[in-house]
Each structure stands twice: as structure tokens, then as C-alpha cells.
Structure 1
Amino acid sequence: MNKQSFRSLAQAIRPPIAIITIALLAGCFGGLKKPQPAELQPVTPLVSARQSWNSRMGAVNFPLDVSVSGQGAAIASDDGTVVLLDAQTGRDIWRVALKAPISAGVGSDGKVLAVVTKANEVVALQDGRELWRQKLNAQVFTAPFVAGERVFVLAADRSVNAFDGQTGRKLWGQQRSNEPLILRQSGVMLAVGNTLVVGLSGRLVGLDPSNGNIQWEAPIATSRGINDIERLVDLVGRFSRVGDTVCVRAFQTGIGCVNAARGSLLWTKPANGVQGIHGDNSLLFGTEVDGTVIAWKRADGERVWSSEKLRYRGLSAPLVAGRSVVIGDDTGFVHLLSREDGSLLNRLTTDGSAIVAAPVLAGNTLIAVTRNGGIYGFQPE
């Protein structure tokens, strides 16, 4: 193996709009009969894998990102537990209780780990001890990005802030125009060369990491519709990066790829999904709102195949791992599909609660985390 629902509801920055949003969503979907999930067919394993360990922590009801560095996997739970696991054995390297509910995490560069609490504090940790806390002006649903001895935070008000990784001193802040609605979902933030690449509304934006100045913008999607919900446009994690090319999904609108060295848009295609995408140097993979799994050519976005075997099963964002596309569902199964045609290669079981984060690969171990706080490590046989 190699590295590399409609669960999100639109949330409002201002409380009065939050009430309107909930009412509108209830009116739109409350009278519709929920589609029945596709029945799972028996599977003959064509890719062998076994559960090698499992661990536990508290429940996870926020947009968790599992951060992998070498053989370490950093994970957090609602109650403020942050744990760094040895991915080979599942044993704790360290575990700390922040005693504060978490809204976003985990980001790590292999040394410093960072999360954000529901009290809007970014918290940095190292070797199982707290380094610093800094108060933010807005909620955060995207895991902090830790790189270059700095911690970068993308907040729900479309602000980006940079902090010194060891002291927490604020280095700079960049504020874009606010919008009535945002997603309670992880966004996009990464480094390409010496550029901090961030998803702001429907655009990928390149920032100078030393001062926050904007270097370029590339539109993936634009607002449309006649009300705030229909005009909602955001880029959602996870993303796929190969070299200078970054490919992302715009919530319920489309997917696209950008050359992040030049800041130029390569292509966009319509796509109706709410979870991020992943891929390799030739293909991209993603799940649509109805659970259809799709593969696109990375070069131009043309569709290669689609599979309806997992429709309405509340799918996670995918992971490309060798010949497999790995996807979790809301009943705790982890499905391994063929990257070549979408056929089923294997199905792995957890504790029966939803897979809450996109699966990750740490060394030779596939890691899945469930809503009930189960952490599962699978290894090839």
C-alpha cells in the first residue's frame, strides 16, 4: 500500500440566520422519505487485510482529520482527548486531556500538534504537554495546518491566522469578506513549495506564509441560486495533491484542479458531492451525495467509471492506497474498491458506528476512526 454524507449542515455566522437555516432545511427535507441504503453483497476478498489492533477514546462529533507523520497517528475526540498512537501497534505514544471540547483537529508536522476548542481557542501540544493557547475571533471546523514552525488556522469567518509554533505569538492575519452561511465541515489548507494554499469560499487562494499576502486566486466554483442556501459555496477537505497540482471539491457544485505554482486553473467539472476527493497521478476519486463512487481522469476531469454499490450508505471521503480506493460508511464498514473499475476488493468491520474521518495510511497500516471513538488499525496479510 502507498500513502496517500449529507452529514454537514449549513451553519450561520449570525444566530438569527442559524434559526432560518434550520427551518429551511427542515422544510426542504423533512417530508422526504429517506432512501434505503444499498444492500451489501457478499464479498470474496481480493485484497487481504486483517485487523491488527484497536484502541478507544471518546466520541467524535466534529470534522476530524487524522494527522499522520511517519509511524505516528494523531487523533482527537469531543471531550478534549488528544492521542498520538504508534500506527504499527496501536499503543499510545502519549495521550492528554485538554478538558475542553474540541471543534477541529488534528494538525501536525510530526512535532507540534494543534487542535481548536469549541471556546475558539487554538491549542498547541508537543510530547504530550500543552505549549500554548490562543483565542480566536470565530469558530473553526478545519484542522490547523502546522508547517515551517508555524500553526495556520482557517476560521469559519473566512479568516486565516498564523502563529509561532513554539510560543503562540500571532504573526499575521488575513481576513476575507464574510458570508451568511458556512459549512460545519473541514476545509482546505496545505503548502505547495513556499505557498500556503487555502480554500476560501469557492476559490483556491495562494498566500505568502510569512505575511499572509495574497499571491493568486483560482476559482473552482461560483455562487448561484436565489437564496443563501443555494448560493453557499465552499471547498471541502480532503484534497489530492501531486507535485504542484492540487485537486479539490466545491460543496455540491464541482471538482477542479489548479497548478499551485502558477496559481492557474487547469479544469473544473460539475459534481454533486459533499465530501472531499483523493487520487494519484492519473485518477481522482470521490463520492456523490447519493453514494455513487466516481473516478475521473486527473488530466482533464473526464469520467472513467462510476459505481452504485454503496448508494445511500453515508460515505466518507476516499483514500487511495495501492490498488484500492478505501471508503468508510455510516454503519462502520470500510470498503476497498478497485481503482481500475470500482469493483469490490474487500470489506472490513469496526464497531458499527459511522466512520467519521477519511481513512488514512500510516506506514503499512490503514487507520479508521468511528463515531463512538473506536480506532482501528488494519494491515495487509
Structure 2
Amino acid sequence: MMTARLGLPARILLRGGAGLIASLVLLASMAGCSLWGAAPPKPVPADLGPNFAVLGVRQVWGTRIGKVGIPLDVHVNGSAVTLASSDGSVVSVDAGTGVELWRASIGEPLSAGVGSDGRFAAVVTRANLLTVIEGGREKWRQPLPAQAFTSPLVAGGRVFVLSSDRSVSAYDASSGRRLWIQQRPGEPLVLRQAGVLFAVGDTLVVGLSGRLVGMNPNGGSVLWELPLASARGTNDVERLVELVGRTSRVGDSVCARAFQATVGCVNISLRSVVWTQPASGFEGVHGDDLALFGTESNGVLNAWSRSSGSRMWTVDRFKHRKLTAPLLLGRSVVFGDDAGLVHLVSRDDGAPLNRLSTDGSGIAAAPVVAADTLVVVTHNGSVFGFRPE
């Protein structure tokens, strides 16, 4: 029977009764549309004006990996960055030189990638197959209970997976043997977007609905739960609440965003929520011990105090541009937009420092830094390395 839900964003999926993804709802874009008439005109971003480069930055290398239309996590291990394309190419690049260290082809489209510990790299195919690569060669594949849009976590000789049915599973990185799986009931809608999955010491930290959940990596038992947002509203769309990557960790402080709901920080040692603030974004956050930075769904850039959550500054010159999650890099906050531009602004007040051009296809993932090089990936599959002059 066809669902009567209208106006669902393309980022949202409807789960079937068996806990598997039943269908991709394509009834609306993030901007919204009307079933009864033409969609309202898309707001036009303001002209950014000339670029006055306060901070000198130059491109030092470039390469290609294939088009990127999946939730991509560019993974950094030392000077190596590992990336994946939608068609199943997985590539490791030396960030200092741009030279490929290895390249592998999975042979089928991906739904999420990529996680790596420097030895093993893991991706998930659209056919729900967890695939692990070692040294550029495929090592093993294992079926998953549902689709996955969050890059696997490779740590401690294991591969951890957060699936769209809100199950968390662990596999032996060498053999592919499943070690455990834990699942909890959830709302019928999930995001077709990367969630939260990382390690803090000997604890696996997972975003489940609006909560940060600490799990024992050896068996999956829950150690603690800290809520950053709660379900609200009267229907499934309004009640949808998920944590989205990237996150910001400084010592025992972990900060994250709940999709279109809040931004907040917790203390995982004290197992307490430090603060939350209303925020309407769908990309993750980044920061240091003093400040936290995030981009909102309308293109506004915000800075919050890490300790209190109070607003430090807001910049709206990028309004109506689709922005990536930010990267705090020295004195700069770095993020990309859907026009293929990379923006560097001052961490102190958001003032522009520089603007870098790529191939114009839009930035596909949050920027990363490795070997003193800023690495940026576009939707057309171009990879750029930038360095200060």
C-alpha cells in the first residue's frame, strides 16, 4: 500500500516492517515542494564579491577517484587519506604528494565509505555487502541486515557497522567473521546520511536516534546513553531525530548535531550532557577546546562556546548555499559549498580569509587535513590538495 506521507526530504527513508529499507521517498527536495502546484523558486545566493586573499593558499596537487554521490567520509591515517567513489573505487593517496598509494575496485556501487585504520579499509555496497580491503586487494565480504549510509569504523582489529535499521554489528577485520550484533527498535523513518560512529579509548560511541550511546566493543552491551535531542511532533516526519557526522572530540568533550534539531556537547567521562542549543542544520560540527563551528541548512555559519553553548558569532553571507560540515584548521574555519568553492574564514569572527576554486561540481565531503595539506573532494570525483603559501 502506498504511503500517504507528503513532502518528505530525499534524505529520509521509510523502513519496512522487517527492519529493512522499503523504499526511497523522493516526494520532495530539501527545499520543499508542493504537490498541487509548481515549487517555489529556489532562493538565489548573494554574490560574494571579489576574493581578497588574506591568507595565502595554493593548490599543490590534484587527482581523480570517480564521481561521488554517497555519504563520504575522507579517512585520515597519518599522511594517507583514503577515499571512495559511488561506482566502487577505493583509493589511498599520500596527502603530502598526491601520489596514489593503492587503488581498488569493488566492482559495484557503494552506499557508504570509507573507514580505515591504515591497514584495512571498509566500505558498504548498495547490495548491503560489507567489503574490506587490505593493501589494495579485497579481503572479504559479508552481508549486512540492512543498508548502511555511515562509513564503517575500523579499530582494534575489528570492523563496526551502523546500519539503517539502527543495528550495530562487529566483524573480525582479518576473517570477516561476525562477532556480535545489537539492535534496538526505532522510528519508522531514518536518514539517508552518515551518522555517528567512532571510538573513544575502549568505548564504541554510536549515534542512535537522538542519543550518543557508549557500547562495549567486545559484545555490544550499552554502557551509557546521553540525549542530545528527543522526538517531537505528531507524525513520523516531525518525530524523526538522528545524530549526523562529523563530530568534534576534545578529551572527554564530544559535540554533535541532531538533524534539524540541536547542537550540543557531552562529557563522556562524567556521562553528562553539558549543553544543547536549537539548531537547524543537517551537517556535522567541528571545533577545539574553545569553540564549536557548524553550518545550518540555510547556509548560515555559527560559532558556539565549547564550554557553555553560548553563541559567539553568526555569519549569513553564505546564505542559500549548500555548505559542508566545517573543519577548524589553525586560524581558519574551512568548508565547501555546492558551487565547488572552498571558503576559509576567521575563527574569531567569521571574516573571509580566502576562497578557493575547484571543478565547480560542488564539494562532496567535509574537508580534512593530513601532512599539512588541506584535502577536498568534489562530486565529480576531483581531489585537490591545498597548502599555505
TM-score w.r.t. length of structure 1: 0.95
* Aligned amino acid, residue 27 of structure 2: I
Please state if 1:293 is matched with 2:301: yes
Please state if 1:211 is matched with 2:210: no
Please state if 1:74 is matched with 2:82: yes
The equivalent residue for 2:14 is: 12
Q: Shift in Å at residue 26 of structure 1?
A: 4.0
The equivalent residue for 2:60 is: 52
Q: Distance in 2 between matches of 1:139 and 1:278?
A: 27
SS at structure 2 position matched to 1:229: helix
Q: Shift in Å at residue 316 of structure 1?
A: 0.3
SS at structure 2 position matched to 1:230: helix
Q: Shift in Å at residue 30 of structure 1?
A: 5.9
The equivalent residue for 2:103 is: 95
The equivalent residue for 1:3 is: none
Q: Does the CA-based 8 Å contact 1:46-1:346 persist in structure 2?
A: yes
Residues 19 and 211 (structure 1 numbering): CA distance in 2 closer, same or farther, change over 3 Å? closer
Q: Distance in 1 between matches of 2:58 and 2:350?
A: 21
The equivalent residue for 2:126 is: 118
Please state if 1:333 is matched with 2:338: no
Q: Does the CA-based 8 Å contact 2:149-2:192 persist in structure 1?
A: yes
Q: Distance in 2 between matches of 1:48 and 1:355?
A: 21
Residues 120 and 296 (structure 1 numbering): CA distance in 2 closer, same or farther, change over 3 Å? same
Q: Distance in 1 between matches of 2:106 and 2:280?
A: 38
Q: Shift in Å at residue 243 of structure 1?
A: 0.4
SS at structure 2 position matched to 1:106: strand
SS at structure 2 position matched to 1:27: coil
Counterpart selection for 1:22 from 27, 36, 43: 27
Q: CA RMSD in A?
A: 1.8
Q: Distance in 1 between matches of 2:43 and 2:383?
A: 29
SS at structure 1 position matched to 2:27: helix
Counterpart selection for 1:153 from 155, 161, 164: 161
Q: Distance in 1 between matches of 2:51 and 2:351?
A: 10
Q: Shift in Å at residue 190 of structure 1?
A: 1.0
Q: Shift in Å at residue 43 of structure 1?
A: 2.1
The equivalent residue for 1:220 is: 228
The answer for unaligned runs of 5 or more in structure 2 is 1-7
Residues 374 and 16 (structure 1 numbering): CA distance in 2 closer, same or farther, change over 3 Å? closer
Q: Does the CA-based 8 Å contact 1:240-1:279 persist in structure 2?
A: yes
Please state if 1:240 is matched with 2:240: no
Q: Shift in Å at residue 225 of structure 1?
A: 1.2
Q: Distance in 1 between matches of 2:41 and 2:388?
A: 40
Residues 146 and 32 (structure 1 numbering): CA distance in 2 closer, same or farther, change over 3 Å? same
Q: Considering Cα pairs closer than 8 Å and 6+ residues apart, tell me whether 1 or 2 has the greater RCO.
A: 1
The answer for unaligned runs of 5 or more in structure 1 is 1-5
Q: Does the CA-based 8 Å contact 1:197-1:260 persist in structure 2?
A: no
SS at structure 2 position matched to 1:239: strand
Counterpart selection for 2:92 from 84, 87, 90: 84
The equivalent residue for 2:200 is: 192
Residues matched between the structures, number: 376
Counterpart selection for 1:132 from 140, 162, 187: 140
Q: Shift in Å at residue 40 of structure 1?
A: 1.4
Q: Shift in Å at residue 344 of structure 1?
A: 0.3
SS at structure 1 position matched to 2:34: helix
Q: Distance in 1 between matches of 2:39 and 2:340?
A: 27
Q: Shift in Å at residue 48 of structure 1?
A: 1.0
The equivalent residue for 2:239 is: 231
Q: Shift in Å at residue 23 of structure 1?
A: 6.4
Q: Distance in 2 between matches of 1:16 and 1:379?
A: 42
Q: Distance in 1 between matches of 2:9 and 2:59?
A: 27
Matches within 5 A, 1:246-325: 246-325=254-333
TM-score w.r.t. length of structure 2: 0.93
Q: Distance in 2 between matches of 1:269 and 1:67?
A: 29
Q: Distance in 2 between matches of 1:63 and 1:167?
A: 26
Q: Shift in Å at residue 264 of structure 1?
A: 1.5
Q: Does the CA-based 8 Å contact 2:9-2:28 persist in structure 1?
A: no
